Amino acid sequence: MSASDRIYDSRQLDEEQQRRQFVPGELRLHHLDGPSEIYILKKWCVSPGDPVEELQAVAIVETASFTLEIEAYDHGFISEHCFTEGQEIPDGAIIARIDLSKDR
């Protein structure tokens, strides 16, 4: 298996790092420990208006070293994509917003 075949997910972040960066309704690209990477949004797994559950894959991000599944930390509805597929994403950026209201 090559380095680019490795798949990481956001659960590999330590709990303290997740708590520091968690804001309800915001889905962020969290930095993994190690050298800075260039993150590219490879694919959206959900569209605006789609319902999401906690730990559901929302997007796939790639670097030169690995592929990362970005998971929702909230349940609700995707209200906005902040980046388009193929676009570079800065470390820590909000990539999507989740409408937390129960009514849709």
- Mean pLDDT, residues 17-33: 69
Torsional class of 60: left (φ above 0), alpha (ψ -120 to 50), beta (otherwise):
beta
Where residue 30 falls among pLDDT bands split at 50, 70, 90?
Answer: confident
What are the chain's domains?
Answer: 3-99 (2.40.50.100)
Top pLDDT among 32 and 16 is at: 32
Where residue 1 falls among pLDDT bands split at 50, 70, 90?
Answer: very low
- What does residue 94 show for φ and ψ, rounded to 5 degrees? -75, 120
Distance from C-alpha of 29 to C-alpha of 83, rounded to nearest angstrom = 11
Digit-coded pLDDT (tens) for 55-65: 999 999 998 88
pLDDT computed for residue 36 by the predictor: 62
Tokens of 85: 């597929």
pLDDT computed for residue 5 by the predictor: 45
